[in-house]
Structure 1
């Protein structure tokens, strides 16, 4: 029985990058032998075991044969006779199909080291086309390894997979898993570019795909193309090291521009409402976590108002904070402002411009939070007010808090 370190840990060590989780493959082993040595079986679809001390995953060498559509459409064969080379052959990319033995020797039967040197993302074999998740994984790796290109033969293979309908069988959970991980990489735009190139984006996220080729007003968007703007916003979100909810909001903030009637372009009046409707459909279809979905909805609906907030009166600012649910969820409001900053700076020549709206609205929230709403409510009730009247009293107290601390927030025509 021989044990090898495999996959990403080997790749990252060769690249001089920090290694995350380590995966191991066991050649010549059996489930009985693993259990006898203290390993805990955890695999449902194939034999995987946890190390008795490190708790890292050890999988028996295996082969896979296509038996149906989608991620689960495989028959797995694990046996002591399966070789290391056969196990590595089932992996997605050559740079992920390398192993290292206990002496540090690299086993590289499919040219992974050469592709690392050439900065290429290349499939190991034609078996790549048997698993549509690999298209998403490759796109995610393109977002991580920003100076790597996709090999031409791999591009052609992915297009063939899309044309044959393989991506249509992907389950929502896997799409979201890979999409969310790709959004958190160094250049999320590269993930979208790869998916667009092979046609997968149009199948999986048509609401996003249709943004390319849609013009915008050049005075606000020198990059003009809405899809180009989206890519710039996503990369700005990565540059500012934002959270996943913020990056999902960036992805979905302008979806409505893809449905703007052609006769009113390049203006996009009302796109905010259309964006909310479309992103709800996307969130439901992909089973997006609630915190991502809710943040994205507020950003889609309010980003224009937040951009224009320097012209709002104290009363209008309080209403904006209320619509964003900032008083109940102040931390989420800061994330909303981050997403809006990404939108504002994700434009050609705007990348280094300041975004004072973020600091101004964060300060407005801080000042209005200082209002003792319990005291205001008690006073209003003592004066005989009830229901909505109490809410108006609280809003007025918050307006006064803004005006008292920042005189330049005067009442203006609304």
Structure 2
């Protein structure tokens, strides 16, 4: 048996980038030999084993044959006769189809090193069309390597796959898996740009696709195009190191603008509610996790109010904090503020502008949270108040606290003169 380091670990070493997990391919071996050597079998669809000491994955070299539509329709064959070159030939991109032997020698039958130097994402061979997940992986690598271009022939191949309905066979869980990874890359907007260029975005996320070409009011959105704006918001989310729930909220916050009647453009009155209405079916369709779905819904509904909060009075600010459940879920409220900041700064020429709404709302929350809620409730009960009246008393106390804090913040600093 011979063992080779393969895939991303080889690619990242050649790029001088840190690498995560290491994957290995074993040539000339059998499952029985691997077990006898102390490896633990874990593969279900094909023979994969865990190293007895490092727990890294070792897979027997294999070939694949397409047997049905979709990414699950494969018949895999692993055996001692399968060569390293045959195993590398079934991989997606040339930059991922390299191996390294125990001496550090790179085996590169498909020109991966040349494509690394040229900054090109290119498919290995015609078998690329057999697995629609490879379209998503291509988009994800474009999001990771922001200065790499997709080879024209690879993009054309992806278009043919879309036209033939291959992406329609993708299961929601796999789409979300790749989408979530793409959102967390350094250049998440490129994930969607590649999908859009090959026609896959319209099939997988039509709610996002229809945003492109939709105009917005230039005084608020100098970039005009709603789709372009959403991509800029994602760029800002990456720049600010946002979490996955925040990035998903950034992607979906303006979905309703895609359904604004043409006669009402470029204004988008009521788009917040329409965005939330579209988000629900999208999140259900892709099996989006609850944390992502809930934050996205909150951002979709309230981002306009958050942007306008600098002109609100204390009572309106407390109502906004109530709707956001900021008292019980301050961490989610902070995530919502970050998504709103990405939205405000994800606009042409406004990327470095301060976002005044966030500190104002943080201050209002701090002022109102400084109240002893149990003491306010006890005092209300002592006055004979019951039921909703007790909640109203607490609400009013919070309004007064926010108003007092606003007055303090706006007052001139005390003189330092003696």
Q: Into which bin does the TM-score normalised by the smaller protein fall?
A: over 0.9
Query: Is the aligned partner of 1:388 residue 2:369?
Result: no
Instruction: Report the CA distance between 1:243 and its aligned residue.
Output: 0.2
Cα separation, 2, equivalents of 1:365 and 1:101: 59
Match of 1:215 in 2: 215
Match of 1:184 in 2: 184
In 2, distance between residues paired with 1:137 and 1:362?
Answer: 39
Q: Which residue in 1 is equivalent to 2:129?
A: 129
Distance 1:407 1:116 in 2: 59
Q: Residue in 2 aligned with 1:206?
A: 206
- Name the SS of the counterpart of 1:58 in structure 2: strand
1:335 equivalenced with 2:308 (yes/no): no
How far does the alpha carbon of each residue in 1:16-52 deviate from its partner, in whole angstroms, 9 at most, with x for none? 0001110000001111111111110000000000011
Q: Determine the C-alpha separation between the residues in 2 that align with 1:14 and 1:35.
A: 32
In the alignment, what sits opposite 1:350?
Answer: 350
Q: Note if 1:160 corresponds to 2:160.
A: yes
Paired residues of 2:295 and 2:336 also in contact (CA < 8 A)? yes
> Which digits, 9 at most, give the CA deviation of each residue in 1:124-147, with x for residues without a partner?
001000000000000010011000
- 1:69 is matched with which residue? 69
**Structure-2 separation of matches of 1:408 and 1:319:** 21
Which residue is 2:102 aligned to?
102
Deviation at 1:81, TM superposition (A): 0.3
Is 1:176–1:287's contact at 8 Å kept on the other side of the alignment? yes
Aligned to 2:415: none
How many residue pairs match? The answer is 410
- Verify the 8 A CA contact 2:172 2:286 in the aligned structure 1: yes
Corresponding residue for 1:144?
144
Aligned equivalent of 1:78: 78
- Tell me how far apart the structure 1 counterparts of residues 225 and 7 of structure 2 sit (CA, whole Å): 38
Secondary structure, in 3 states, of the residue corresponding to 1:26?
strand
Q: Distance in 2 between matches of 1:305 and 1:19?
A: 42
User: C-alpha separation between the residues in 2 aligned to 1:391 and 1:296?
Assistant: 28
Aligned to 1:280: 280
Change (3 A) 1:83 1:25: same
1:406 CA drift (Å): 2.4
**Residues 4-403 of structure 1: matches in 2 within 5 Å?**
4-403=4-403
- What is the TM-score with the length of structure 1 in the denominator? 0.98
CA contact (8 A) 1:403 1:409 kept: no
Question: Could you list the per-position Cα deviations for residues 314-355 of structure 1 after superposition, in whole angstroms to 9, with x for gaps in the alignment?
Answer: 111111001011111001100000000000000000001000
CA contact (8 A) 2:135 2:158 kept: yes
Question: Runs ≥4 in structure 1, deviation > 3 angstroms?
Answer: none
Q: Do 1:402 and 1:409's aligned partners in 2 also have CA atoms closer than 8 Å? A: no
Q: What is the CA distance between 1:384 and its match in structure 2?
A: 1.2
Q: Deviations over 1:216-270 (max 9, x none)?
A: 0000000000000010000000000000000000000000000000001000001
**2:6–2:97 Cα contact (<8 Å) kept:** yes
Q: Which runs of 5+ in 2 are unaligned?
A: 411-418
> Partners of 1:65 and 1:366 in 2: how far apart?
61
- d(CA) in 1 for partners of 2:313, 2:38: 68
The answer as to whether partners of 1:27 and 1:82 remain within 8 angstroms in 2 is: yes
Contact 2:364/2:405 (CA < 8 Å) preserved in 1? no
Give the gaps of 5 or more residues in structure 1.
none
CA contact (8 A) 1:313 1:409 kept: no
Q: Secondary structure at the match of 1:64?
A: strand
Instruction: Give the drift of 1:120.
Output: 0.3
Distance 1:102 1:397 in 2: 71
- d(CA) in 2 for partners of 1:314 and 1:65? 66
Match of 2:413 in 1: none
Per-residue deviation at 1:408? 6.5
Partner deviation per Cα, 1:196-227 (whole Å, 9 max, x = no partner): 00000000000000000000000000000000
Structure 1 counterpart SS, 2:407 = coil
Greater Cα shift, 67-76 or 162-171: 67-76
Q: Secondary structure of 1:407's partner? A: helix
- DSSP-derived class of the 1:75 partner: strand
How many Å separate the matches in 2 of 1:365 and 1:107?
59
Kindly state the Cα deviation for residue 382 of structure 1 after the two structures are TM-superposed.
1.3
Q: What is the Cα-based RMSD across aligned positions, in Å?
A: 0.9
Query: TM-score scaled to structure 2, two decimals?
Result: 0.97
Report the CA distance between 1:113 and its aligned residue: 0.1
